[in-house]
Amino acid sequence: MNFKQEFLDKLLSAKKIVFFTGAGISAESNIPTFRGKDGIWNKMNPEELASFDAFMRNPDLVWEWYQQRRDIVHKAQPNPGHVAIAGLEKHYDVTVVTQNIDNLHRRAGSTKIFELHGNIERNFCIECHTFYNSPDLETTNTVPKCKKCGGLVRPDVVWFGEMLPQDEFSGGEKAAEWSDICFVVGTSAVVYPATYIPMSAKRGGSYLVEVNIESTELSSYVDYSLFGKAGEILPKILEEVKKFKN
Ligand code: OAD
Ligand code: ZN
């Protein structure tokens, strides 16, 4: 793969790099994306599964759906895209700002991660806010009850109509603003406020690079588009970096 010189020059001088990622980076780990022809939201109605109202209407149904997604995530492995991002930490100050809840960046070895939409491995009681890690809850298809107060336990993920975790968002926004390069990987970039992250990067003077199998809402806005699979392109970027950094 031939990268354009302007991008290579940026890689050479950059110190801080942000990866803003979406479901596409986990597609090669066989975790389905949300949009596109096999997307989750083509088959399911988000309002019926991913909202607090849906949970209160039918907690067992919502819990069971997340339980199925946990199974998929547990069986999945980080792919070469996640691994390359973690590998770049050896050469740069890398921050991952992800919309994914699948924990794969952490499992791949990335250490600085802002999770804008929560994490499927964490849960909390809707009454007293006690946190529970998924492995500590009995694997069951009915919603668990809080051991302290008997309240319903829900996954710690952001549902439609809910606010993003403030610290994660502002941490991610600052990292983006201060970055030298911001990669936008595997996201359709249609969900706000998450998509403000690459915009903050651009506003702060960062060089925006998109990695996606197709063009997106952000394609005309970025400085450089790399079309192809994240699991193929990101390892090539790491290889390139290794030629001039050690
Ligand atoms: P989407 O499903 O909207 O978009 C996935 C993107 O990944 C698309 O642009 C694909 O072209 C691209 N893609 C697919 N396979 C790829 C590959 N192998 N390499 C590179 N790119 C690939 O997912 P998100 O943008 O993450 O929110 O969706 C944003 C949010 O919408 C999610 O976090 C979720 C959802 O509703 C919540 O759950 C709050
Ligand atoms: Zn409780």
Q: What is the mean pLDDT of residues 196-223?
A: 98
Q: Between 166-178 and 196-203, two packed helices, what is the crossing angle to 10 degrees?
A: 30
Q: Using a 6 Å cutoff on CB, does residue 188 contact ligand 1?
A: yes
Q: What is the pTM of this model?
A: 0.97
3-class state of residue 26 by DSSP: helix
State the Cα–Cα distance between residues 215 and 213, nearest whole angstrom: 7
Q: What is the pLDDT of residue 201?
A: 98
Confidence at 38, pLDDT banded by 50, 70, 90: confident
Is the model's pLDDT at 136 over the cut of 90?
no
Pairing of strands 181-185, 16-21: parallel
State the Cα–Cα distance between residues 39 and 53, nearest whole angstrom: 23
How high is the mean pLDDT of the chain? 95
Q: Using a 6 Å cutoff on CB, does residue 164 contact ligand 1?
A: no
Confidence at 137, pLDDT banded by 50, 70, 90: confident
Distance 239 CA to ligand 2 centre (A): 49
The predicted-structure confidence for 47-64, as pLDDT tens digits, reads as follows 788 999 999 999 999 999
Please report the domains of the chain, with CATH numbers, ordered by start residue.
Answer: 1-31+78-117+165-246 (3.40.50.1220), 35-75+119-157 (3.30.1600.10)
Q: What is the mean pLDDT of residues 150-164?
A: 96
